[in-house]
Amino acid sequence: MNKTKYILIIAAVAALSLTLWGSRSFAQASGSYEGTVVGGYAADAPFTFEASRLIGYQVWTPDYFLGNLGQITDLLIDRCNGRVAFVVVSDTPGFSAEFLAVPFGALRRTGEHTFQVVFRGAPVPMDNYSQVYDPQWGDRYAQYLAMNRSIVGLETIPATVDPAWADNVYRFYGLTPYWSEGKNSNLDIVSYRMSGRTDELAIHYPDGGLVAFNSEGGLMSSYGVAPYWTTCGSCGGEAMNFQDVASPPMPSDAKPGECYARVFVAPRCETVQEQVMTQAASERVEQIPAKYETVEERVMVKPASKKIEEIPAEYKTVDEQVLVEPAHTEWREGRGAVEKMDSATGKIMCLVEIPAKYQTVQKQVLVKPASTREIEIPAQYEMRQVQKMVEPAHENHIQIPAEYKTVTKNEKVADGYFEWRKVEGCQAK
């Protein structure tokens, strides 16, 4: 079953290729392909059509044989500049449920209901992509767009468009944003279908300029009509509900043979500038750490103390008389008138007193007894480098003023109204 389905797909692709090849051959036979479109439509020839008819048109890549990118499902219209800024393409290969955004200026009309994407001067690295058609990813241009869907893709169709996004998409396709070249640099890009205003609007090709229709379907651009789609911003947009605008009476000074067209004159707006606060005033608390510096300082390395010192006893050497022999008496032989006559007689004995005998000796005498004393030991200091706090930590409360920016906006100064204007070269039905 799968193999049969695959063969059928290949056959369908081949048939489509042959059909497109034949169409392209016809175009080439009548001149250069770049200046000619299939079916005889001139690619750059001016053309005006109703905006609603553009919905459903097919969009192709430069590889016209196989590069179907899908169909136009919506328009993104710049009301400030009065032109179509983008077409929104659905069912693009590789985009899943997302949409592809294509600047109107990157489209070339190739048929009654077809357009072709043109990369005008943008470098397209085709060597990086397969030249073989892929049923899921399309041709090489479709693959290139799918790989860059972060730039050209839309998850949903937006009610309004970010100007920065619009600028990036234009430059991706090699286009200079028209709003950077024109007089009005403001952008007010809105969705055509989501607006609910799908009448009274036509588009001029190739510039995408808007042209208004009157109530009977005729073009009214020559009358300077400024419909809802060419009112920049919200100014005057609400006045385009024609049911709420009274129709003026027919001209009282009209003459037979003259024709008049009822024309809506847009609300008159003025551009004003005002200061808008973008950021409220606030306060920022800044933590300031403590500050230190290195200084030389006398630092105590040993505290003061006390110690007990013992003082020994003091002595001195003195001479002292020591009694060696006490005084005494003893009998000693003596002489006198009676002498010893013989060994047996005459012996004289005298009792003699013998004085005491002394001897001088040296002796240690205590002069001062042993004692103690308390000695104060002073503290010891050194000069050292130390970190010294010179400013403590603190908080700074910084007041941040409010920020403002100057914005430009349109303010309505007069309501829109209808008036009758004389039309030349017309006649009654």
For residues 239-262, give the mean pLDDT: 72
pLDDT at 237: 46
For residue 113, what is the DSSP state?
A: T
**Domain locations in the chain?**
2-211
d(CA 73, CA 194): 11
d(CA 393, CA 285): 13
Higher-confidence residue of 34 and 371: namely: 371
d(CA 235, CA 199): 20
Higher-confidence residue of 301 and 37: namely: 301
pLDDT at 344: 66
CA distances from 181 to 29, 81, 106, 139, 184 (A): 38, 11, 17, 34, 8
Q: What is the pLDDT of residues 273-313, one digit of tens each?
A: 888 888 888 888 899 999 999 988 888 989 999 999 999 98
CA distances from 182 to 176, 187, 274, 290, 316 (A): 11, 11, 23, 59, 128
Inform me whether the pLDDT recorded for 46 exceeds 70. Answer: yes
CA distances from 320 to 360, 361, 365 (A): 5, 5, 11
Look up residue 388 and give its amino acid. K
CB 94 within 8 A of CB 142: yes
pLDDT at 363: 86
For residues 350-363, give the mean pLDDT: 89
CB 192 within 8 A of CB 86: no
Place of tokens 């196989």: 66
For residues 141-167, give the mean pLDDT: 86
Token readout for 97 is 């449920």
d(CA 320, CA 325): 15
Determine the CATH number of domain 2-211. 2.30.30.240
Pairing relation of β-strands 417-423 and 259-265? antiparallel
pLDDT at 213: 55
Token readout for 239 is 């006045």
CB 23 within 8 A of CB 110: no
pLDDT at 377: 92
d(CA 143, CA 134): 9
d(CA 111, CA 39): 6
Inform me whether the pLDDT recorded for 100 exceeds 90. Answer: yes
- Mean pLDDT, the chain, as a whole number? 75
pLDDT at 1: 40
Place of tokens 């110690």: 307
Q: What is the pLDDT of residues 189-233, one digit of tens each?
A: 878 876 655 555 778 888 888 765 554 444 444 333 344 555 565
Q: What is the pLDDT of residues 177-192, one digit of tens each?
A: 888 775 556 677 878 8
Token readout for 147 is 């790989």
Local confidence band at 88 (pLDDT 50, 70, 90 cut-offs)? very high
Q: Strands, DSSP E only, in 242-288?
A: 259-265, 268-279, 282-288
CB 146 within 8 A of CB 160: no
CB 126 within 8 A of CB 144: yes
d(CA 116, CA 20): 13
Q: What is the pLDDT of residues 11-26, one digit of tens each?
A: 444 444 434 433 333 3
For residues 78-97, give the mean pLDDT: 87
CB 148 within 8 A of CB 142: no
Cα 121 to chain centroid distance, Å, stands at: 32
Least confident stretch, 55-59, 382-386, 405-409: 405-409
Q: Around Cβ 141, how many Cβ atoms within 10 Å?
A: 21
d(CA 54, CA 114): 9
CB 213 within 8 A of CB 220: yes
d(CA 190, CA 157): 10
Least confident stretch, 48-57, 217-226, 355-364, 398-407: 217-226
Sequence-ordered list of residues with C-beta below 8 angstroms from that of 7, at least 6 positions apart, any chain: none
Least confident stretch, 99-103, 150-154, 261-265: 261-265
Place of tokens 């799908």: 198
CB 187 within 8 A of CB 232: no
Higher-confidence residue of 340 and 155: namely: 155
Higher-confidence residue of 285 and 419: namely: 285
Local confidence band at 345 (pLDDT 50, 70, 90 cut-offs)? low
Greatest CA span in the chain, whole angstroms? 228
Inform me whether the pLDDT recorded for 254 exceeds 70. Answer: yes
